[in-house]
Amino acid sequence: MDLDSLLRALVAAGGSDLHLKPGAPPHVRVDGQLVAMPGPALAAADCAALAAAALPPDQRARLESEGEVELARGVAGLGRFRITAYRQRGSTALAVRRVAAAPPPLEELGLPVGSTRLVDPGRGLVLVCGPAGSGRTTTLHALIDHVNRTRPCHIVTVESPVEHLHADRLALVSQREVGADAPDAPAAVARAGHIGADVVAVGDLSAPSTVRAALAAAEGGALVIGVVPGTTATEALAGVIAAHGEHEREQARAGLSRILRGVLAQRLVERADGRGRVAAVEVVVGTPKIAAAVAQDRLGDLVRLAEEGEYNGMQTLDRALVLLAREGMIAMRDAAALATDAAGLELAVGAGAAPTPVG
């Protein structure tokens, strides 16, 4: 058994993830569901050998010392994959995520018309959030691709690891991998301005030091796009503010209110026809009213302001679910399960004379 054979099986199954751990057969995730592959359970020695073959010597050493390591791997004829090797119960396991050959166009991601204005030229901060596995990284790279194709500028990415490879289009794209090209993410973000970055894209804005570096870069004139923890726009913004010490938070809110372009918070929902999943996207745009709510510590007002801000390209999660259900793309039961107001969602869908969902 070798890793490339398992990756071929993953692609053949149409899966997004491959999980390998001792005591269980290989599992693949297809349309969000984890399915065991035919065959015997893996032994600890099998997983250790698969990891050793996939990791270069320096990464094997990091796995032993830190208990986890992540890298990207390209396989001819199959594509690119993000591999996480980690220790569990004293043995080695692997989780492999399949990376799309190219990010989809923004219009295929379920974003309202006009959302591309979030990445117009100029300084600012755009945040992308959602649960793990919701396509946050795909959306980040779709935004990068949109900028790359529409204007001449210098885009610098800070990633761990580099997943999608971006060829230069109208823009120049410099992709920096943490650990290989830069000592750490905060340093790479802070130094982006020194190498002439107009746009800085950050694959992980979870560490407080990286968040602070990103805000400083945006204040300094760059457009910063980053993936942050949180399942809603409110949670994402609260996390950015919480990355600062308590005595710094008022200043952080003021700074964030000046540079916030918008937040995209997405969930993946199973399609009604069973053919994959579709994104339901909450969109908050940094209008003066949103900026005031951030500066005045009124994040609880964001949903109401988003409901009132459709003209500016805003969209609540419930509104996104209503539109998908009306089009018959998702089943009502799935929409209602995610909605903050299930009864209101059902009334809104009915008022729109939705097609009958499939399945």
Query: Are the C-beta atoms of residues 21 and 88 closer than 8 Å to each other?
Result: yes
* HSE toward the beta carbon, residue 291, CA cutoff 13 A: 13
pLDDT digit string, tens, across residues 223-243: 999 999 999 999 999 999 999
pLDDT digit string, tens, across residues 4-54: 999 999 999 999 999 999 999 999 999 888 999 999 999 999 999 999 999
Output the average pLDDT for the chain: 92
Phi, then psi, of 343 in degrees rounded to 5:
-65, -45
**3.30.450.90, 3.40.50.2020, 3.10.450.50, 3.90.700.10: CATH of 3-99:** 3.30.450.90
pLDDT band at 355 (very low <50, low <70, confident <90, very high): very low
Helices (H), the chain: 3-12, 44-54, 57-66, 136-150, 185-191, 208-219, 233-242, 249-259, 288-295, 302-308, 317-326, 332-338, 342-351
User: Are β-strands 154-159 and 199-202 bridged in parallel, bridged antiparallel, or unpaired?
Assistant: parallel
Tokens (6 digits) for 289: 């009213």
Is 107 or 252 the better-scoring residue by pLDDT? 252
Whole-angstrom Cα Rg for the chain:
21
- The answer to whether residue 297 scores a pLDDT higher than 90 is yes
> Model-level pTM?
0.85
CATH of domain 106-315: 3.40.50.300
pLDDT digit string, tens, across residues 146-157: 999 999 999 999
Q: Where in the chain is the domain with CATH 3.40.50.300?
A: 106-315
Query: Are the C-beta atoms of residues 287 and 312 closer than 8 Å to each other?
Result: yes
**Mean pLDDT value across residues 62-66:** 92
- Residue listed under structure tokens 């969209």: 315
The pLDDT score that the predictor gives to residue 358 is 40
The pLDDT score that the predictor gives to residue 31 is 86
- The answer to whether residue 168 scores a pLDDT higher than 60 is yes
pLDDT digit string, tens, across residues 298-339: 999 999 999 999 999 999 999 999 999 999 999 999 999 999
Report the C-alpha gap between 257 and 250 in whole angstroms: 11
Q: Where in the chain is the domain with CATH 3.30.450.90?
A: 3-99
**Mean pLDDT value across residues 58-80:** 90
pLDDT digit string, tens, across residues 201-218: 999 999 999 999 999 999
**Mean pLDDT value across residues 81-108:** 89
The pLDDT score that the predictor gives to residue 357 is 41
The pLDDT score that the predictor gives to residue 287 is 97
